[in-house]
Structure 1
């Protein structure tokens, strides 16, 4: 028994040495990075509350392309505008892979748009973009939906009678109703208890993903499945959202009009029926559920959180709020409904909205990318390794050795695979850090300060900045970017047109620093007072 175990270990070490030799002989090498420990990688020296701060610090030693081990996961981190742009834009095809985030995989099982790759991703992204545009995303029809929802939002604030309220679900109800109109073909009453229940789950889910417990699940998913904790309750709650979506899909199946689809689900059902005999189709119920879930969650939480953060900053800096209101009064007045054509006449307001997104830095690490093949980048190799865990076994592919290229060795090392072993890394995750772009000192005059002047020229006109990567960039940029831009402008302008916002504790009682800073920067909860103007 001891002899066979020794032979296995010798075999494994030999394979690793030969793979390393093969890569060295080819002139390719991994980017440098801090020394990693077995099992835990660089976790002991990482800032657990804000990992991106550690990455920024380490990049000063190892450069803008570096290798970090987050637990067992080998991760290549890209830092700075020039580096991230070169990867996501200049080498867009190489960096279009999406990493299988364990937390999302547990919910989506690999289906849907957000975490898929290859032909599935291409088909679903093309279909989603086309369908959303057909239903008015970024066009006049969508503008009218947002204007209508703005009236409901304004009425809900008016009903507060200038008493302190938490704005969280004021924002999420309004923003979610826009994506619900697109996806489900209906809006929901603000007093609908089931609707509010779903929004509460979405809020908890997003915050959980950036909590230490959520990140532990992403780092050690198999281990976490064996441990008790609130992640199990979170997964059970998400089933309520999935059940709601499936109910809506079944309702649509009974009423779909093939000649006149009313929403995203209708269009998906029609495509599903058209391709039901195609064995390679990606248009089936699992992908429908996954994609609708992607749109519902992302279309609700990110934009509503950004608006809530915008009001927080305007309360913190009342002189900026007042300057925006003076500009809105001069251009629109207090009676006419704002429209998207007003944006070009509201340069300061537009600049503030952009600066809110830059300063908020909502997804500092970016959504993780993935090496779907070996990538040559800046003289390094970002490898898709040939050693993968699969169903509790370790599979070693011998593609580097042509004399036995058809052979595979499967080592039954269930314990090592379940709890990890540094000698057998997973495929490479890539983090093109948006934080490093939105805070790049070579691109922003005062990157650590909330400063709308970043988006204004010397004459007070709005100016673009190429480093504004709030929606990421390249082939994996946010599919709902044009919708989010429209919502941010119309909702914020409508609110400031009718109300002035303050805090019961005054400007000094507002803390704009995030409560959680991991996958996302999650702003703190706060109360505000909406005073009619």
Structure 2
């Protein structure tokens, strides 16, 4: 019996290995994937990666296997692209083939897993609507969307969608954001106004130590809220606090072991308890909030005078109501709104956190930025985008902050949309691809001493701002971040307004401040800290 107890697990392991090897052999028929470390059954190459700093592990593997190689996350192969040449060749030179979005099960289930609920909500919004719109009169829209239920399994929205859904949603969203001067205020004016509210909130700290995360997040969220549904919240509004907690918790949890395990084995994990359940509930709550705002807009929409993103989307829905295959329906609006809402809030907040942390760590840089602000803008007017061209040093500092912090070390996963010949390899349709952006941002040939924070990386010998193709924090190609322009504007206006009004004082000696991320996986999370905002 004792011998049988030993033989049984050994046989089980052998069977698992045999099934794995046969399946791998079958899947590789006709394929010529790039080389890489030998994967283990079920686990793939997880044991060869530092799960606390996956990007660093991927960079080390590139030293052994070259700029294009394959790793297995569980049973699924992922092609890693290391260095500017490989990333550019894929995302720009062969951008049409690398256009797909890689699988991200927790996000797909967050967006589509509650499809019945979302469809019910969407139908509830339209059930009692009456179309009274004639000419430029105000009225309610009857949105004809018979295809809402049942929902297809195709991902919705902008960030994680593919095919026609992605093309239509991205094209519409870009056009809407670019043309957002149609209302009474432009996007820049909204950001400048929010920057002043931010300053007032910082003054309330009275130079006492404070963690700036919530204040920064609130400012960024209000900018997005004004674009999505022309509304801003007081920083201590209860509904606003609830939303901030939802966004912050999910953004941080995206790096957690629970989410990583869910992404590897979603069919198993969705039936088990764990933190992933909380993630899905919070995502559902954010979608519900967006749909409630949509309902309010439906009741007050003036088609002749759209005021925000939701208005524009609802008008497009009405224009295409006779098209049964239209991508403009309430489910897509809810997911697009959630994508913009979450992405535009937390990424800006973390970039601002890195900004003040790095400026405290390097007081000489902070002093030079203060000097340029005082000389170009002064103290009697608020910063504007017109000032940017006259401030090369500040522009270099902003770029260096984004380069050094590498907020998204390997972009959101891509995928090839067809069997693709890349260099001497054949990558099968649907294979996930990781463009390792950190390997471009830390390229030692383009940025001498890349591990060092140095605004000189973006200045020429004459002190003028220097552009470089290696600046890729927003990725490259057709899948480049849709909010890049907005993010650049926010970062410049919010940070220069803060520095125009305050000096940043750390609670310890500058050299004691740690700037390396505490978590570096999908997102690089900066270490916690407090500081004093000293009025100037």
The answer to whether the Cα contact below 8 Å between 1:503 and 1:509 also exists between their aligned partners in 2 is: no
Aligned to 2:246: 201
| Alpha-carbon distance in 1 for matches of 2:357, 2:63 | 33
Q: How does 1:145-164 map to 2 (within 5 A)?
A: 145-164=190-209
Aligned to 1:240: 285
| SS state at 2:469 partner | coil
The answer on 1:114 being equivalent to 2:159 is yes
Quickly say closer, same or farther: Cα 1:484–1:13, change in 2 above 3 A.
closer
Match of 1:340 among 377, 385, 390: 385
| SS state at 1:431 partner | strand
The one-character-per-residue Cα deviations of 1:62-105 (angstroms, maximum 9, x if unpaired) are 11000100111210000001110111111111111111311111
Q: How does 1:414-453 map to 2 (within 5 A)?
A: 427-453=430-456
| Alpha-carbon distance in 2 for matches of 1:41, 1:351 | 41
Q: How does 1:286-325 map to 2 (within 5 A)?
A: 286-325=331-370
Deviation at 1:508, TM superposition (A): 3.5
| SS state at 1:226 partner | coil
Deviation at 1:382, TM superposition (A): 1.0
How many pairs align? 477
The answer to whether the Cα contact below 8 Å between 1:211 and 1:516 also exists between their aligned partners in 2 is: no
| SS state at 1:41 partner | coil
Quickly say closer, same or farther: Cα 1:140–1:483, change in 2 above 3 A.
farther
| Alpha-carbon distance in 2 for matches of 1:172, 1:340 | 21
The answer on 1:53 being equivalent to 2:56 is yes
The answer to whether the Cα contact below 8 Å between 1:351 and 1:455 also exists between their aligned partners in 2 is: yes
| SS state at 1:298 partner | helix
Match of 2:481 among 478, 482, 485: 478
Aligned to 2:425: 380
| Alpha-carbon distance in 1 for matches of 2:196, 2:518 | 31
| Alpha-carbon distance in 1 for matches of 2:389, 2:70 | 43
The answer to whether the Cα contact below 8 Å between 1:112 and 1:287 also exists between their aligned partners in 2 is: yes
| Alpha-carbon distance in 1 for matches of 2:170, 2:413 | 17
Report runs of 4+ in structure 1 exceeding 3 Å deviation.
Answer: 9-21
Match of 1:503 among 494, 501, 506: 506
Match of 1:257 among 267, 281, 302: 302
Quickly say closer, same or farther: Cα 1:509–1:275, change in 2 above 3 A.
same
The one-character-per-residue Cα deviations of 1:268-296 (angstroms, maximum 9, x if unpaired) are 11111221221111111111100000000
The answer to whether the Cα contact below 8 Å between 1:49 and 1:212 also exists between their aligned partners in 2 is: no
TM-score for the superposition, normalised by structure 1: 0.86
Aligned to 2:518: 515
TM-score for the superposition, normalised by structure 2: 0.86
| Alpha-carbon distance in 1 for matches of 2:290, 2:481 | 22
The one-character-per-residue Cα deviations of 1:100-146 (angstroms, maximum 9, x if unpaired) are 31111111112111111111110110000011111149x98211111
| Alpha-carbon distance in 2 for matches of 1:485, 1:332 | 19
Quickly say closer, same or farther: Cα 1:330–1:213, change in 2 above 3 A.
same
Deviation at 1:236, TM superposition (A): 1.6
Segments of structure 1 that go 5 or more residues without pairing to the other structure are 1-8, 385-426
Deviates more, 1:236-245 or 1:339-348: 236-245
| Alpha-carbon distance in 2 for matches of 1:342, 1:117 | 39
Match of 1:123 among 168, 182, 187: 168
The answer to whether the Cα contact below 8 Å between 1:168 and 1:525 also exists between their aligned partners in 2 is: no
The one-character-per-residue Cα deviations of 1:138-187 (angstroms, maximum 9, x if unpaired) are x9821111111111000000111000111001101111111111111111
The one-character-per-residue Cα deviations of 1:334-378 (angstroms, maximum 9, x if unpaired) are 221111111111111110000000000000011000122111111
Deviation at 1:228, TM superposition (A): 2.1
Deviation at 1:38, TM superposition (A): 1.1
The answer on 1:184 being equivalent to 2:187 is no
Aligned to 2:126: none
Aligned to 1:77: 80
Root-mean-square deviation (CA, aligned residues, Å) is 2.0
Deviation at 1:253, TM superposition (A): 0.7
| Alpha-carbon distance in 1 for matches of 2:23, 2:491 | 54
